[in-house]
Amino acid sequence: IPTEILPTSQLASLTVAREIAELIKSKAAKGEKCVLGLATGSTPTQVYNQLVRMHKEEGLSFKNVITFNLDEYFPMQPNELQSYVRFMKEYLFDHVDIDMANVNIPDGTVAKEDVYEYCRNYEAKIDSVGGIDLQLLGIGRTGHIGFNEPGSSITSPTRMITLDHITRVDAASDFFAQENVPRHAITMGVGTIMKAKKIILMAWGEGKAKVIARTIEGEVSEQVPATYLQRHSNTQFYLDISASAELT
Ligand code: F6R
C-alpha cells in the first residue's frame, strides 16, 4: 500500500486537505458533483480544520459537494454529545457552504426492524450519485475501518454491527464510562468502502503503530479488516512518525 510518512499529523492533514480541495475544485470546474466519504473520531479533525480555513480564507466552496459518513452509533439521537451528526456539524458542516440536503450520515434513530432496509437505501443512494470519489478513513486498534470489526467480509454491505470490546474501551472516555458506550453501530461495509474510486487512510500516534504494521505488512485477513485495502488499487496511507514506528 503506497504510504507517506510525514513528520507531524499537522503536515499530513494539510497535505490531505489540499488533495480534497483540489478534487472539489476540479470537479466544480467541470460542473460536476464531488462525492466524499467522511470519517469521524480524532484522526480527521485537523483535515476538517484545514478545509474550514480554506473555505474562510481561500474561498473553497462546498456547493458541489455530496457527503456520506461511514458510520453512527446505534441507537443514537443526532443531538446527543457523542453523535456523529453533531461531530460533523461541529468540525465541518456548520462552518462551510455545503447544502445540508447533500449530507448523509447513518441514522441512529431508525427502528430496529427498519435498519436492514435503511442500509439498502443508504447504499443505493451512494450508487445513485455515481459512487464515492474520495473516501477518508481512520483505523481502530482492532483493525476496523468504518466500524467493520474483525470478522467482517470483504464484500460486507452497509449494515448494523456489534462493536468490538476494544472499540468500546477506546470510546469509553467519550461516553464517560464504558457501560454507556452503545453496543451497536450502523456502518458502511468493507464492500461499500472498496467501491470508492480513491481511499485515503490516516493514522497518528504510537497507539496505532502495531495495527498499521499489521495492515501494511501482514496477510490479508478478516481478523484485520483494514488489510482488505491491500486489494484496492487506489489507496494511499498517510502516517505520522509514531504511527509508522513498527514498520520494518
Ligand atoms: C469513525 C470510524 C472509525 C475511526 C477509528 C479511529 O467514523 O469509522 O473507524 O476512524 O475508530 O478513531 P480515532 O480517529 O478516534 O482514533
The CATH number that applies at residue 90 is 3.40.50.1360
Close Cβ partners of 77 (under 8 Å, ≥ 6 residues apart)? 83, 108, 109
57, 58, 149, 246: which is the annotated catalytic residue? 149
pLDDT at position 132 is: 98
Close Cβ partners of 36 (under 8 Å, ≥ 6 residues apart)? 20, 65, 66, 67, 68, 132, 133, 134, 135, 136
pTM for this entry: 0.98
pLDDT at position 135 is: 99
Domain assignment present for 246:
no
Domain assignment present for 231:
yes
What number is the average pLDDT over the span 216-231? 98
Domain that holds residue 180: 3-240
Domain assignment present for 9:
yes
- Number of structural domains the chain divides into: 1
Domain assignment present for 245:
no
Domain assignment present for 193:
yes
Domain assignment present for 110:
yes
Check if the interface score ipTM surpasses 0.95: yes
Domain assignment present for 248:
no
CB atoms closer than 10 angstroms to residue 111: 8
30 CA distance to ligand 1 middle (Å)? 32
Q: CA-CA distances (angstroms) from residue 147 to 2, 139, 157, 186?
A: 23, 9, 12, 8
Output the DSSP codes for 193-235. Answer: HHTSSEEEEEE-SGGGHHHHHHHHHSPPBTTBGGGGGGG-TTE
Q: Residue 182 in 3-state DSSP?
A: coil
Which residue, judged by its Cα, is nearest atom 12 of ligand 1? 41
pLDDT at position 113 is: 98
**Is residue 123 annotated as part of the catalytic site, yes or no?**
no
Q: Which of 48, 144, 239 is the best mutation target for the ligand 1 pocket, counting ligand atoms within 8 Å of the beta carbon and taking the most?
A: 144
Q: Residue 162 in 3-state DSSP?
A: strand
Q: What is the pLDDT of residues 118-137, one digit of tens each?
A: 999 999 999 999 999 999 99
**Distance between CA 57 and CA 54 in Å, rounded?**
5
Domain assignment present for 102:
yes
Q: Which of 91, 135, 147, 181 is the best mutation target for the ligand 1 pocket, counting ligand atoms within 8 Å of the beta carbon and taking the most?
A: 147
pLDDT at position 125 is: 98
pLDDT at position 158 is: 98
Q: What is the pLDDT of residues 88-98, one digit of tens each?
A: 999 999 999 99
Q: Average pLDDT of the chain?
A: 98
106 CA distance to ligand 1 middle (Å)? 15
Q: Which residues of 203-232 are buried (b: 16+ CB within 10 A; e: fewer)?
A: bbeeebbebbbbbbeeeeebebbbbbbeeb
